Structure 1
Amino acid sequence: YSRALPHWPAETGCNWATIATGATPARHGCKYSVHLPGWPLDKVVPGFSSELCRAEQIWQVVDRLGGLSIIIDYPQSYPINAKRVVHVGEDGYPGPNSRLCIANAHAYVTRDPPPELPEYLRRYLTKVEVRRAEGWANLPEGERLEAELPVETRGGAVTFYALLEREGGAYRRVSLFAERDYSKKLGEAQAGSWSNWVRWRFRLGGEIVWAYFRYKVIELSEDGRSLHIYMSQVYPEEGWTHPPELAKELVNRFGPYLHRPTEQALVVSGASDIETFIEEQEYQAEWYSKVASHLLRKYDWSLFIMKWHGPDFFEHFSLHMIDPSHPLFDPEREAEGWELYARFYGICDRLVSSVLSAVGDDVVVAVVADHGHVANVVHHVGNEVLEEAGLLARRPDGSVDWSRTKAVFLAEGVWVNLKGRDPHGVVEPGEEYERVRDEVIALLLSLRDPETGRPVFSMVCRREEAKALGVGGDRDPDVVFCYSTWAQPKARAKRPLKHPLWGVVTGTHGAYLPSAKTAVGTIETVFIVRGPGVKRGYRRPRPIALSDVAPTLCYVAGIPAPRDAEGRVVRDMLEGEPDLEA
């Protein structure tokens, strides 16, 4: 076991690429959002396509040697870039609007969202009207209520109809239809429960795509007037495996593939709740467990690699439950928080256990994560501070006036609007470029939290000065920064949203020092490995770097490290090597 330091920035797109390549971000070029040289300084793309990764990946090494790799939704693994691969999922992107998603998860509610809910969270909620059901064919006797549920798909808007039905004099069941015909029921769910999986055809362009979704009746009052329906992601029946025919085999054996379960924005917005979040994450983890076990027994493989994003989603909205440095921490509910953590990480344990059972004791197995979380206590800043300092200008409509702008925040850093590199560059290379960077660095270092007076940033520097963090490539910003993690006063705590266990974003990661900590949270992550040639019971006293993972695992497996690996073999974790002294 060892703690592990992520590279900067401590986020998904960056560090899963590092784990698979042994390369630093400066070499592999991947982050959550990637800006390519020559693009306008307001353009980024998700950094999860394999086409964006500039370093050799571990499954490409295995392929070179004639081995087969089984890959499940690992970042930068799609489009497939090796010959001998069994692939399930996509490119590991955890955000909305994934490659094949037909419709994102959504909620339908009868009450107005809180007025202070930001617009980016309101998009997860649609207010619906419950009214008497009229104009239905084949409707049995008795009073029923209905609500229209519009679904925005990649092929346009589709409307489903929710029919509220009584049991014992109270409304307790919601059935789903694609048209007002009671004989054509698609799904049914009791109050507080999930429906069956609904298989339905969706038109995308000129093509019909069959897909699955389900819904949960989170709330249904006895009179039917208060309603909250959560609808899962709508995801295709096939198209997400290689070989292609594998998708239907997996669905038939293990049920529909839920590619993106409930995540933190859905909980924070109130579209979902914590119980629903855990239920969906558990479904996905159990599905992955069954699929992994099946594939590991079906194929003659050399490498198995997968990413499960559940813990990252979970800690984003829950860290305040256990971390006293967050102003929303409530000591009277701390035990409740730890119980929830034990329950959720039990899902992780079962997923790992299923893989261990499938591979046996003579295989090298590693459990690793891309980053940890710290309490979200920092006073975040953006383009407004550059504007106040005269480094960024806007037009009357609020858009950036590039002809008068010298610097801009983009992709977890600050970019200088440089002539010869950027399409609207105004800053001359050389002396003026360095002067603007000096201005930006001095400005950011001068910023103080308005309530505590503490520095907003713990580090600000030129990108070439941050090589120790793995930074320095042409896709990295001109000025790199790391937020501080000062604890905030209780007065900072605001509870604008009333959800179970508060429901606000309280855990975070990204532009922080790799060793940053709060009372409980840490940006550090873990590297756990077992198998032939690996010491048993050894706890390394100092952390490794995530770029050490691939070289170490390749060494133990007896294969070359990826071509562009910059990390090292952690020899003190191997049998016959001396322990590292604390």
Structure 2
Amino acid sequence: MISAVEQWAGQPPAGLSPVWLGCLSLSSTWGHAPIRFALALSTSEDGPAVSIANDPDWGSLLTTLLRGEWSDPVEIPAADRRGKVRRCALRFKALALETDPVSVQLFNTPVHELSGHSLPDSLWQKHRRAAGPIEEQTDPSLLFSGAIDVATHVDRCQLNTDWLCRISQSVLRDEPWDLFMVHTHIVDWAHHVLHGAIDSRHPRFEPDRADQADALLRHFYAMTDRLVASVIDAAGDDANIIVMGDHGQDLHHTTVRFNHWLAGTGYLAFRDDDPTAIDWTRTLACTLGNSVVPQSRGARTHRYRRSGPRRCADRRALRGIARHFRSA
């Protein structure tokens, strides 16, 4: 959350003329006190610039960014998941900056602790000096929600891949090892983002944009190829290298929320005092994972193996569901 403040102490660096002063508050995933930064939006000869500081004091300045720029890793004190204040790091990107009217849109990477990732901690510290702070998050949920653009998502994946290259090479070259494994998720996410844009079966496929999407998808593969190459280079000629995935990927364009449909047709009921909880006394069927589970009215447990009258009731419920679904 961003809000305005009245003043900063000290003087801004040469070339910056502040037009707006504010405060940025980042909420804690773990429910601890938020992390606060001071902001200053200025005009400069290169365009609008945002300055980020620990406190509303030019002497505590952390970074100044123009529109579209990323910061280096910024080190700050922050509470970890247990509430202990430790040295942490994150990056910022200035997504959009305007001085008239005032508008500031920032993106920040996850806050990661700078210690506590190995036993003994000195092992991690040695490799952190070579690789830098963790660059982790690559899932596209912020892209899907519209919070970031495609370029920023690609940047995040590049930061993650570069860090994986550096940490892999540091460990492989400086530690004795028998088995080394590194995991990257960017190709999986890339297919979630782009597969419908390159597959003509998708209802929103646009032929004029297919080549652009295909080139971007290949870019994600190229990033992953660079990671594989860095591992091969550091592992040495006598290493056996295996590149594998845990699943393939195919077209997906429609999601059926089956429990919502069951509720609409009367087969599933929610509790009156909690609309997110199932009322098993009024429910005949629900979906758990990839299965439709029949449920006799009044039962409070799920049983996959049944016999006698109860099994017949289950079959009747399933046949009724199938008839409803075919006619829906």
Note whether the superposition's TM-score is higher than 0.5: yes
Q: Which residue of 2 aligns with 1:326?
A: 202
1:213-224 equivalence runs, <5 A: 213-223=90-100
**Map of 1:53-452 to 2, 5 A cutoff?**
128=2, 134-140=6-12, 142-153=17-28, 154=30, 155-168=32-45, 171-204=47-80, 207-223=84-100, 225-261=102-138, 263-397=139-273, 398=275, 399-417=277-295, 424-425=300-301, 429-431=306-308, 432-433=310-311, 435-436=313-314, 439-440=317-318, 443=321, 447=325
With over 3 angstroms needed to count, the CA separation of the structure-2 counterparts of 1:276 and 1:370, relative to structure 1, is same
Partners of 1:145 and 1:224 within 8 A in 2: no
Q: CA offsets, 1:188-229, max 9 Å, x none?
A: 222111012111111345521211101100111353623321
CA drift of 1:297 comes to 2.1
Deviations 1:11-32 (A, max 9, x none): xxxxxxxxxxxxxxxxxxxxxx
List gaps (5 residues or longer) in structure 2: none
Equivalenced residue count is 317
Amino acid of the residue matched to residue 443 of structure 1?
I
Q: 1:382 offset after TM fit, Å? A: 2.0
Structure 2 letter corresponding to 1:148: C
Q: Quick one: distance in 2 between partners of 1:323 and 1:139?
A: 56
Whole-angstrom CA distance in 1 between matches of 2:224 and 2:210: 21
Distance change in 2, residues 1:143/1:172 (3 Å): closer
Q: Aligned equivalents of 2:319 and 2:65: distance in 1?
A: 56
- Change in CA separation of 1:438 and 1:315 when aligned onto 2, cut-off 3 Å: farther
Kindly provide the amino acid, as one letter, of the partner of residue 89 in structure 2. Answer: Y
RMSD: 2.8
* CA 1:444–1:366: 2 relative to 1, 3 Å: farther
Q: CA deviation at 1:158?
A: 2.7
Q: Which residue pairs with 1:474 in the alignment?
A: none
Q: CA deviation at 1:352?
A: 0.7
SS at the partner of 2:253? coil
Q: Distance in 2 between matches of 1:438 and 1:357?
A: 62
State the Cα deviation string for residues 492-520 of structure 1 (Å, max 9, x = none). xxxxxxxxxxxxxxxxxxxxxxxxxxxxx
Q: Distance in 1 between matches of 2:155 and 2:91?
A: 12
Secondary structure of the corresponding residue to residue 355 of structure 1: helix
> Per-residue CA shift, 1:66-124, capped at 9, x if unaligned?
xxxxxxxxxxxxxxxxxxxxxxxxxxxxxxxxxxxxxxxxxxxxxxxxxxxxxxxxxxx
Report the alpha carbon displacement of residue 236 of structure 1 after superposing the two structures with TM: 0.9
Q: Is the alpha carbon distance of 1:150 and 1:370 closer, same or farther for their aligned partners in structure 2, counting shifts above 3 Å? A: same
What does the per-residue CA deviation read over 1:330-388, in whole Å, with 9 as the maximum and x for residues that have no partner?
11111111111122211011001111112234332111112233232234132122224
CA distance in 2, matches of 1:434, 1:260: 49
The answer as to whether partners of 1:171 and 1:222 remain within 8 angstroms in 2 is no
Match of 2:121, SS? coil
Q: Percent identity?
A: 26
Q: Do the aligned residues in 2 keep the contact of 1:404 with 1:426 (CA within 8 Å)?
A: no
Question: Partners of 2:33 and 2:288 in 1: how far apart?
Answer: 31
- Deviation sequence 1:546-581 (CA, Å, 0-9, x none): xxxxxxxxxxxxxxxxxxxxxxxxxxxxxxxxxxxx
CA distance in 2: counterparts of 1:425 and 1:245, whole angstroms: 50
Distance 1:426 1:318 in 2: 39
AA aligned to 1:351 is L
Amino acid at match of 1:137: A
Unaligned runs of 5+ in 1: 1-125, 451-582
The answer for the alignment partner of 1:110 in structure 2 is none
What is the alpha-carbon distance in structure 2 between the residues aligned to residue 240 and residue 436 of structure 1? 50
Distance 1:206 1:393, change over 3 A: closer
Q: Which moved more, 1:304-313 or 1:389-398?
A: 389-398
Q: Normalising by structure 1, report the TM-score.
A: 0.50
**Distance in 2 between residues matched to 1:448 and 1:282, nearest whole Å:** 46
* Corresponding residue SS for 2:272: coil
2:87–2:113 Cα contact (<8 Å) kept:
yes
Distance 2:327 2:154 in 1: 35
Q: How high is the TM-score relative to the length of structure 2?
A: 0.85
SS state at 2:27 partner: strand
CA–CA distance in 1 between the matches of 2:216 and 2:152? 13
Q: What is the alpha-carbon distance in structure 2 between the residues aligned to residue 143 and residue 199 of structure 1?
A: 24
User: In structure 2, the residue corresponding to 1:366 is in which secondary structure?
Assistant: coil
Aligned partners of 2:75 and 2:87 also within 8 Å: yes
- Distance in 1, matches of 2:327 and 2:188, equals 27
In 2, the alpha carbon distance for the partners of 1:438 and 1:362 equals: 62
The 3 A distance-change label for structure 1 pair 238 and 440 is: farther
Contact 2:8 2:57 in 1 (8 A): yes
1:161 aligns to what SS in structure 2? strand
